[in-house]
Amino acid sequence: MKCRAQQAPVCMCILIILSAVSIKSTQVPYRLHLVITLLLSLLLSLLLGVCSAESNADTLDLSKVQDTPPQLQLAKIYQSDMQLENYLVSEKLDGVRGVWTGTKLVTRKGNAIDAPDWFIAQLPKGVCVEGELWRKRDDFETISALVRTKQQTEHTQALWKQVKLMLFDAPCVDGNFAERYMYLKQLSIGKANVGAIEQKRVSSNDELFDWLDDVVTAGGEGLMLHKMNARYFHGRTDNIVKLKPKHDAEAKVVAYTAGKGKYQGMVGALVVELEDGIRFKIGSGLTDVQRQSPPPSTVLSPLNIRGYQKGRTTVCSV
C-alpha cells in the first residue's frame, strides 16, 4: 500500500484524539501522556515522509525539464552471448527522439519542440511517453531541421502532417517493458500522428541478423532489443540494446600516437576509452584537419565505430 506525506496531519489528529480519549481509562499522568502522544506523532510524520520519498522515487517526473534534460533510458551495444528469448526486438528508427512530458514535447536534451497544436492534441495528457519523431527511412536531416523550426509555415505544417511520434517506451508507467508496450499500442489506436513501434520476438542470432540485413538494405539504421521483464531504468543499461552495422559510441580521448609517412608531424591515431574502460585506437577516418588539431584529452566525442568488439582492443575507424 502506498503512503503519502500529505496524510500525516490527518493521522496525527486521529492519534491525538484517540490518546486524549484513552487518558480517562488509564492511570498515566496527563502531562506524560501528552509527551508520549507528541513523540508518537513526530515518529509517524517521519515514517510517512520516508514512505512518500520511496513512492515518488518509483516514478520519473518528466514535467520539470526547463533547467535539466529528462533522465532517459540509454541503450548499450549488442553482444552475441545475449539470451534472445528474453527480449522483444524492433527496428531502430533514424529520427529525432521526442519526449512527451504529459504537458509538452521536448527533445532528449530537454529543448522544447514547437509542434503544431493539432499534433500535440493527439498526445496523452498527464502521461509521459517517449518515441521517435519519424517520417520515413533515411530522412533524419529533414526531421532534425523540422524539430528545430520555431515558427510554423505552410511548408512545415505540411511536413508535420507526415510525421509520427513512434512510441517505444513510457517512463512514468508502472510495469515491465512487455506491459508498457501493450499500453503504448492501446494509446496509439485511432491517432493519425502517433504510433507504437512494432516489437517482435526472435529465436536465434541468425534470425536476428537476417532481419538486420533486411532493415539496412531497405535504408534502415538497425535494431533495438528490449528486455521484456525489465522496469524502466534511468541511465545506460543492458535492458535496452542496439544492434547496428556500425555503432555510435561516446569515447574519451586519452592519448595520441605519432603519425608516420605522409602524416609525419601530425596525429597518427587517437587512443580512446569507452565508459566500460576498454581502450583502443582510432586510426582511419580522421581528416587532415583533425590530425593537425585533434580533440583535447578527456574530451567525450560521439563516434561511429567500425570493427570494435567488446573485450578486444582493435584499430577502428570513425
For the annotated catalytic residues, the residue numbers are 92
Instruction: With beta carbons less than 8 A apart as the criterion, state whether 241 and 202 touch.
Output: no
How far is residue 202's CA from residue 84's CA, in Å, rounded to a whole number?
Answer: 7
Cα 37 to Cα 13, 15, 49, 112, 255: the distances in Å are: 10, 7, 18, 51, 66
How far is residue 170's CA from residue 194's CA, in Å, rounded to a whole number?
Answer: 14
Cα 19 to Cα 15, 27, 254: the distances in Å are: 6, 13, 67
Which position has the grid cell 543492458? 238
- State the pairing for strand pair 129-134/164-169: antiparallel
Phi and psi at residue 25, to the nearest 5°: -100, 10
Grid cell digits, residue 318: 570513425
How far is residue 95's CA from residue 133's CA, in Å, rounded to a whole number?
Answer: 5
Q: Which among 256, 227, 190, 184 has a CA at the least distance from the CA of 89?
A: 227
How far is residue 11's CA from residue 8's CA, in Å, rounded to a whole number?
Answer: 5
Grid cell digits, residue 86: 528474453
Q: Which residues face 316 on adjacent strands? A: 282
